[in-house]
Amino acid sequence: MRALSGIQPSGELHIGNYFGAIKQYVELQDKHEGFYFVANYHALTSIRDGSYLRDLTLEVAASFLALGVDPNKAVLYVQSDVPEVTELTWLLSVVTPMGLLQRAHAYKDKIAQGISPDHGLFAYPVLMAADILIVQSDIVPVGQDQKQHVEMTRDIAAKFNQAFGEEVFKLPEALIMPQVAVVRGTDGRKMSKSYNNTIGIFEPEEVIRRKIMSIVTDSKTVDEPKDPDNDPLFPLYRLFVDEQEAEAMAADYTKGGIGYGDMKKLIVSKFLEYFAEAREKKAQLDAHPDYVMDVLREGGRRARAEARLTLERAREAAGVAVVR
């Protein structure tokens, strides 16, 4: 089975990215053939600084490697290194109904936020479909809130196959990850760069400490019982410990005797312990950027070899493969 997923280079990776997606990618590469990419074409809908985008792209790629994506097990590449995906986007565009795009959750959310839409934002799902279909993915690991992306891809692929009378594309399945964690940010909302409430995995230790220590709590004293299910700190703590430790802390929380300040210090310690190996490896990769570039070149070569086969079939079916 071939699994595919990508992540936008929109900033430094945070723990929400890791527990919500990358941790699952690392686990999947031992069970399936993984194709993971840095979605820099998608990032152009919000980033208009070429130098900054290049830096972010390499930063995300290095972070993937530091966090456990193994180029001997999975294909890691940059989206723009597979230019076939943009030609396929056009071929898919001609069979994609406007109504389908108008129903996209991401598009409607942006409109609700008052963002003035452009064609890139509106056609975003078609590019996403091309990403998935170009390497003939079998499964796409997503959270429940992202299931629509895969459903739209299936609709677009089916319409192309039907329009041109050939089964060019297999219909991928959404692999809903039940263990995907919705990580709360420093303000209690879902961790997101949009909310400026993230805790970066590779930020300096003093920055991580400051962010965690600044999380707002209620006014309960040390001795007062606290509810782990309605607390901004406990969900963060349990990300970094096993179930036994989490249950023990939940029991202590309920009894009282633990102050928020001590809990925050403990979270900092657990955070740094959990990501110690990844942070060390990231520092090594930052010192040897040529290795990251080599991995991306090889990943791009492998992904492009698959993409060419798919695109040729699509071009042939659509009748645009004229001169041979």
Whole-number Cα distances in Å, 253 to 18, 223, 244, 270, 308: 26, 10, 14, 17, 57
Known catalytic residue at 73: no
23, 110, 226, 264: the active-site residue: 110
Sign, CA dihedral 16-275-175-229, equals negative
The answer to whether 36 and 78 are in contact (CB under 8 A) is: no
Phi, psi (deg, nearest 5) at residue 134: -65, -30
Query: What does the alpha-carbon distance between residue 231 and residue 38 come to, in Å, rounded to a whole number?
Result: 34
159, 170, 190, 265: the active-site residue: 190
Known catalytic residue at 108: no
Q: How many CA atoms lie within 13 A of 66 on its CB side?
A: 26
Query: What does the alpha-carbon distance between residue 147 and residue 118 come to, in Å, rounded to a whole number?
Result: 23
Any idea what DSSP says for residue 189? S
Known catalytic residue at 226: no
Residue type at 252 in one-letter notation: D
Any idea what DSSP says for residue 139? E
Provide the strand spans (E) within 179-225.
none
**Nearest residue to 4 (alpha-carbon basis) of 31, 28, 30, 36:** 36
Q: What percent helix, strand, coil does the chain show, rounded to 5?
A: 60, 10, 35
Specify whether the backbone of 61 is left (phi greater than 0), alpha (psi in -120 to 50) or beta: alpha
In the chain, what is the straight-line distance between the N-terminal and C-terminal CA atoms, in Å?
32
Structure tokens at 244: 């036994």
73, 170, 193, 220: the active-site residue: 193
Tokens 């993984």 identify what position?
Answer: 34
Catalytic residues: 110, 190, 193
